[in-house]
């Protein structure tokens, strides 16, 4: 994987408040491998591509709407490497075609194995068995979070990002926030907006990062993958006003919470806040399918 040629822009979100908010557009890195998933895979994939393995293969795990699953499938297509996705939920075996993320992943050439939720929880056993079955394959954990992923996140931070008081990101497995925390400048504070309720997140992030410069703020809005009408309206309003698309699983939730915090004067006057747009826009199609079942006339525009 090559470093992106474009310089990732930082855009001000004009609020008319006493604090200033900026968005770093990691979603623009690549049309398919976008956002933080690009950086998380960067060293994992590059080190693997450098190895003298004849029959390369990339294997990973994820849920049916996973940005990570889609991204790995795109990497496989671009580098002509077969990919295998272990997908949570046996019930999907007969109807994965109805799921836009899995359909796109399949078009990119990914093979699937559908795993029951019980077995999926035992990832260590699954991984051990996969290593036996495919000794030469690159096996990437769920969400792509591992030590090399955290090393890749350093590229989201540049000389330009040093001038901000706060660095903000949505949090799923925590790898991205751990990288931001590890590579942040000394005076910077890091805010993670967790969209997953997971009491072990803080410790996991600390173990990866080695620094305690971060704070987690709950932004799950009803749970991981749950989409509220209020948040959809927020995302659509944000797009209308700023012409930037957010996604309903990660960045939309982070931004709504961040707006609330700014409104409630969480930040001191004059604070400069940088939020990372970590991508995830492939998930909108799937989210709209779920929304259609729940609400009439409501979709992510």
Q: Which residues within the stretch 12-51 sit at the binding site for ligand PLP (CB under 6 A)?
A: 35-37
In the annotation, is 34 catalytic? no
Tally DSSP H helices, then E strands, for the chain: 11, 10
Question: In the set 152, 225, 252, 279, which binds ligand PLP (CB under 6 A)?
Answer: 279
Helix ranges, 100-161 (H): 100-107, 117-121, 123-133, 147-152
Q: Report residue 207 as tokens.
A: 């173990």
Nearer to ligand PLP, 30 or 37 (CB): 37
Cβ at position 84, least distance to ligand PLP in Å: 20
How many beta carbons lie within 10 A of that of residue 215, not counting itself?
11
Q: What share of the chain is helix, strand, coil (3-state, %, to 5)?
A: 45, 20, 35
Nearer residue to ligand PLP within complex by CB, 35 or 85: 35
Specify whether the backbone of 223 is left (phi greater than 0), alpha (psi in -120 to 50) or beta: left
| Choice between 134 and 154, CB closer to ligand PLP | 154
Q: How far is the CB of 233 from ligand PLP (least distance, A)?
A: 20
State the catalytic residue, choosing from 66, 145, 169, 181.
Answer: 66
Is 15 strand, coil or helix? coil
Part of the chain binding ligand PLP (CB under 6 A), chosen from 55-63, 73-81, 117-125, 243-251: 243-251
126 binds ligand PLP (CB under 6 A): no
| Nearest one of 64, 40, 44 to 120, comparing CA atoms | 64
Q: Is 105 in the site for ligand PLP (CB under 6 A)?
A: no
Please say which residue, 91 or 202, places its beta carbon nearer to ligand PLP: 202
């Amino acid at each position: 994987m090559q470093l992106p040629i474009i310089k990732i822009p930082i855009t001000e979100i004009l609020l008319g408040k006493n604090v200033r908010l900026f968005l770093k557009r990691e979603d623009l890195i690549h049309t398919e491998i976008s956002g933080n998933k690009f950086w998380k895979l960067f060293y994992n994939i590059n080190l693997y591509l450098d190895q003298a393995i004849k029959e390369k293969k990339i294997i990973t795990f994820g849920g049916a709407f996973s940005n990570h699953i889609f991204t790995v499938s795109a990497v496989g297509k671009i580098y002509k490497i077969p990919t295998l996705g272990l997908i949570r939920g046996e019930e999907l075996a007969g109807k994965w075609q109805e799921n836009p993320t899995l359909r796109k992943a399949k078009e990119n050439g990914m093979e699937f194995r559908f795993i029951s939720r019980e077995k999926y929880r035992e990832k260590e056993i699954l991984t051990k068995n996969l290593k036996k079955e495919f000794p030469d394959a690159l096996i990437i954990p769920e969400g792509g979070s591992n030590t090399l992923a955290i090393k890749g996140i350093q590229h989201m931070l540049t000389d330009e990002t040093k001038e901000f008081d706060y660095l903000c990101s949505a949090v799923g497995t925590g790898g991205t926030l751990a990288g931001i925390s590890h590579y942040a400048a000394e005076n910077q504070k890091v805010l993670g907006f967790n969209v997953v309720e997971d009491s072990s997140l803080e410790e996991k992030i600390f173990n990866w990062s080695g620094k305690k410069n971060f704070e987690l703020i709950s932004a799950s809005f009803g749970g991981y993958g749950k989409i509220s009408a209020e948040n959809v309206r927020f995302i659509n309003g944000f797009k209308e006003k700023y012409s930037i698309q957010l996604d309903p699983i990660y960045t939309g939730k982070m931004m709504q919470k961040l707006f609330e915090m700014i409104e409630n004067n969480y930040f001191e006057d004059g604070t400069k806040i940088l939020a990372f747009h970590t991508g995830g826009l492939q998930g909108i199609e799937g989210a709209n399918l779920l929304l259609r079942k729940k609400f009439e006339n409501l979709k992510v525009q």
